[in-house]
Amino acid sequence: MVENAQLSVIVTTEQTVSLLPECQAIRVLLDQDWNRIAATPLSARRAIARPRIWLTSFTRRDRPARQRVFRSHTGRCQFLALDARRAGVTRTDVLLAVTTISFDIAALELFLPLIVGARVEIVSQETAADGFRLVEALRRSGANVMQATPATWQMLLASDWHGPPLQRIFCGGEALSHELASQLLAKGLELWNLYGPTETAVWSSALRIESEDSANTAQDAKESIGHPISNTQIYILDQQLQPVPIGVPGEMFIAGLGVARGYHRRPELTAGVFLPNPFGKPGTRMYKTGDLCRYLPDGRIEFIGRVDHQIKLRGFRIELGEIEAVIDAHPAVRNSVVLCREDQPGRQQLVAYLEYDPAIVHPTNNHNALAEGQIDKWRTVWNQIYERKVEEHDERFDTSGWISSYTGQPVPQEEMRAWLDETVARILALGPRR
């Protein structure tokens, strides 16, 4: 990272300088050089600060290699100034910073309090990853503002966190579910849902979620990501880069002051996602996010999933996110992930991984009615299948009930026999002991 960023100055301490690699950058040791720094005239110190460019490094699931992004300090400054005004952060607030400071979203936690004169307290990585330690840090610091991912808020709720003293919270980095939003609102918190990729100055849209908004949202739905922040434009376009109608899904493109200059020393990758903006002034660009969204009738934006989450299976285009949404609607499922796997060459299949809710699934609970209802459904489906009349019935190899999902007709016996033989061979190849 030091080499790729072509750093000219590194600010560190005498204790940690030995951990850095050899490079051409000037090393400023805050402890050893402090007297010289303090003796430098104020005018000279101001002269080196310019809101020009800065570099951030990140990894995305759709781009496994680590990327470095050139971004403008100007975009970051306007984002922080506007965000402070919009979110109502004042000099009397205390913000607890839980994000690792090398991540880009930590900029809000570090600089937003400072530009309004508020106090910021940074917790260790160990504390941020432990719900009980984090609860204690909240109590000890008296923080009333905090930014975190939905996973962290879920961890706090599971760690006997009773709510106050927090008053205003920011949630971002992942899709915010209606269920989690309802739990946070129930504690009397002012909840903000934030959205934005690394390439666009962290946050590009925001929405304060009100209790009445959450009440009108389906239990399994995700909360809206709101409206673009100031000096930011969001377009939802089709594959021909034409705007889609309200309510129709399309890919999100972001333009405005926050858009990065591109990927450092990756011109091809930059050209692929930082495109000329046909809706803006000549020379301006927009960023192709790869996120599937749609505009709602009230002007808010709904995040659906990833464009590259769409697959083609046996000739059908399938949105894996839609399947996950249906699975997540089941009261016993907390989260789900659906993948298209090819365990055998040429044989693709959808596989769902589930995280269940022990309070509902565990047999000692009081939700027997749910289990009995599910069993009734299975019984009905079983009876419907096996009541079908099969012309050829072989007692030694009974294939009745095996109906093709494509034709609706019974699967031919020779296909079932081939499937059985292949399955047995695959099991035997693993060397089972019983």
Q: List 285's β-bridge partners, or say none.
A: 276
The candidate with the shortest Cα–Cα distance to 1, out of 55, 51, 53, 52, is: 55
Q: Do 168 and 295 have their domain in common?
A: yes
Q: Is residue 170 part of a domain?
A: yes
CATH of the domain at 259: 3.40.50.12780
Nearby residues of 166 by Cβ (< 8 Å), 6 or more positions away: 138, 143, 144, 145, 146, 189
Q: Return d(Cα 257, Cα 238) in angstroms, integer.
A: 23
CATH number at residue 384: 3.30.300
| Among 276, 307, 338, residue at a domain's last position | 307
Distance of CA 407 to the CA centre of its chain: 39
User: Same domain, yes or no, for 55 and 119?
Assistant: yes
Is the domain of 104 the same as that of 174?
Answer: yes
20 lies in some domain = yes
Residue 99 located in a structural domain? yes
Contact 81, 112 (CB under 8 A): no
Quick check: is 432 in a domain? no
Tell me: do 315 and 287 sit in the same domain: no
Same structural domain for residues 236 and 98?
Answer: yes
Query: Please, what is the average pLDDT of the chain?
Result: 82
Q: Average pLDDT in the 56-65 region?
A: 47
CA distance 184 to 157: 8
CB 105 within 8 A of CB 202: yes
> Do 79 and 18 sit in the same domain of this protein?
no
Instruction: Based on the fold, state whether residues 334 and 380 are members of the same structural domain.
Output: yes
Tell me the pLDDT tens digit for each residue of 201-238.
778 999 999 876 655 555 547 889 999 988 899 999 99
Instruction: Judge contact between 77 and 51, C-beta under 8 A.
Output: yes
* Same domain flag for 279 and 336: no
- How do strand 168-171 and strand 190-195 relate by DSSP bridges? parallel
Q: With CA atoms as reference, report the closest residue to 203 among 122, 259, 120.
A: 259
Structure tokens at 266: 């990756």
Number of domains, the chain: 3
Whether 421 is in a domain gets the answer no
Residue 343 within a domain: yes
Please indicate, yes or no, whether residues 291 and 367 belong to a single structural domain of this protein.
Answer: no
Q: Is the same domain home to 8 and 62?
A: no
Supply the DSSP symbol for 73: H
DSSP secondary structure string, 156-216? HHTTT---TT--EEEE-SSPPBHHHHHHHHTTT-EEEEEE--GGGTS--EEEEEPHHHHHT
Query: What is the structure's pLDDT at 264?
Result: 79
Domain final residue pick, 256, 272, 307? 307
Domain that holds residue 229: 51-307
Question: Tens digits of per-residue pLDDT, 367-422?
Answer: 566 667 778 888 887 777 666 555 556 677 877 777 777 777 888 888 888 989 99
Are 161 and 208 in the same domain?
yes
Mean pLDDT of 244-265: 91
Q: Give the confidence band of 146 by pLDDT, cuts at 50, 70, 90.
A: very high
pLDDT tier at 300, thresholds 50, 70, 90: very high
DSSP string, 125-166: HHHHT-HHHHHHHHHHHT--EEEE-HHHHHHHHTTT---TT-
Same structural domain for residues 70 and 201?
yes
Q: In sequence order, which ranges of 256-336 are alpha helices (DSSP H)? A: 267-273, 320-328
Determine, yes or no, domain membership for 10. Answer: yes
The gap from C-alpha 198 to its chain's centroid, in whole angstroms, comes to 12
**Domain-located, residue 417:** no
pLDDT-derived band of residue 60, with 50, 70 and 90 as boundaries? very low
Among 10, 34, 49, identify where a domain stops.
49
